[in-house]
Amino acid sequence: MLDIEKLIKYEYIPSELPPSFNSDLLSEHIETIIEKVNYEKVKPSKPLIFNGFKTISSRRRFAVPNPYQYINAAKILVENQTELFEIFDKTSNSLTAPSNQSTSYGKAYDRKVTNFSEVKKEVKKLYKDNLFGLKLDIQFFFDSIYTHSISWAIHSKKLSKSNTRNLDLLGNKIDASIQLLNDLQTNGILVGNAVSRIVSEILLCSVDYEIKKRDIKIDYLRYVDDYFIFTKDRAQIESIISIFREELDKYELVLNENKIEIIESPFVYGKSWVEEIKIYSSVNIEKLLEKSIIEYHKYKDISIIKYVLKIIRTNTFTKDEWDSIEPIL
């Protein structure tokens, strides 16, 4: 269930910014703002853009949208959620589509999973007697979304293209509100907010539904734009990739060909370094840090360091312990 106050309070400011940046006061005055602003006369806006860390060699662009424009987009989603949930409910493959339940405290909206341990649990259920696993993701997903394709997903491409200026169509309303957030850009949507995540699910749940109709023998789940696919037949793998490629292409989305992974049973979720790091986490913090650095140099994966720092944050230290780990940190 979508609630406008929670969409503003919890996922308007990207979580990559420090906690001192928040939208608590904005959410408290949401009704007053809605009453006073004539959204038909609000002009397109340029979001505030900042670069956040993605990998050791790349950065990701996050955005803080104009609050008026963001509230407008959120309002459209909330007021039309019955129609949107018909799309989300057509498939059970998405772990990140909004759930039609009362929203839990502290969340912008409910979804099947909220963290990677829950993702792991759900993906493991797919192992069963499958012999091969396939991992796919979409290249530059949020940056590559074509805003007009939102309407295609809701109404069909044919209907949308013959009614491009008709703002009575929900898809066109959402399309226009997303463009207003981003200086009328039609290529790419802003990264780091709830509205963009919900809009992305409109597209990908529609893709999931089309894949379901293809009736291929697979078990799969999707976490945002990451696909976890399992099959019994290796001969199917190329045709599975082709089907996903074709269905994504209908919305001008492209598979990341460089990140296609094929694994054989028995399966292990995630990356091999995780289990090794877990063993060291029960030994001592200094050895854990040293192990994380060794694994980082081996895999060149910054998430190793992030993972270990999360473990360290839950600990308290004596002065002597701190003196030994501070130089490493």
DSSP code of residue 267: P
- Regions of the chain with pLDDT less than 70: 39, 53-58, 272
Q: Is 188 left (phi over 0), alpha (psi -120 to 50) or beta?
A: left
pLDDT for 16 equals 86
* Residue 314: per-residue pLDDT: 83
Question: Measured between alpha carbons, how far is residue 133 from residues 85, 116, 124, 126, 165 in Å?
Answer: 30, 18, 11, 10, 44
The beta strand positions in the chain, using DSSP E, are: 48-55, 58-64, 132-137, 219-223, 226-231, 261-264
Residue-wise pLDDT for 192-211, tens only, equals 999 999 999 999 999 999 99
pLDDT on residue 57: 58
The tokens for 133 are: 């696993």
Helix (H) or strand (E) holding 241: helix 237-249
Q: Can you tell me the distance from the alpha carbon of 97 to that of 110, in angstroms, rounded to the nearest whole number?
A: 8
Buried b (16+ CB within 10 A) or exposed e, 83-106: ebbebbebbebbbbbbbbeebeee
Q: What is the C-alpha separation between 217 and 284, in angstroms, rounded?
A: 46
Q: Backbone phi, then psi, for 193, in 5-degree steps?
A: -135, 160
3-state SS assignment for residue 292: helix
According to DSSP, the residues that pair with 219 across neighbouring strands are 230
Q: What angle do CA 283, 284, 288 make, to 5 degrees?
A: 90
Provide the pLDDT for residue 276. Answer: 75
Determine the angle formed by the axes of helices 194-213 and 170-181, rounding to 10 degrees: 140
205-259 confidence digits (pLDDT tens) = 999 999 999 989 999 999 999 999 999 999 999 999 999 999 999 999 999 999 9
3-state helix, strand, coil in the chain (%, to 5): 50, 10, 40
Residue with tokens 């994504």: 248
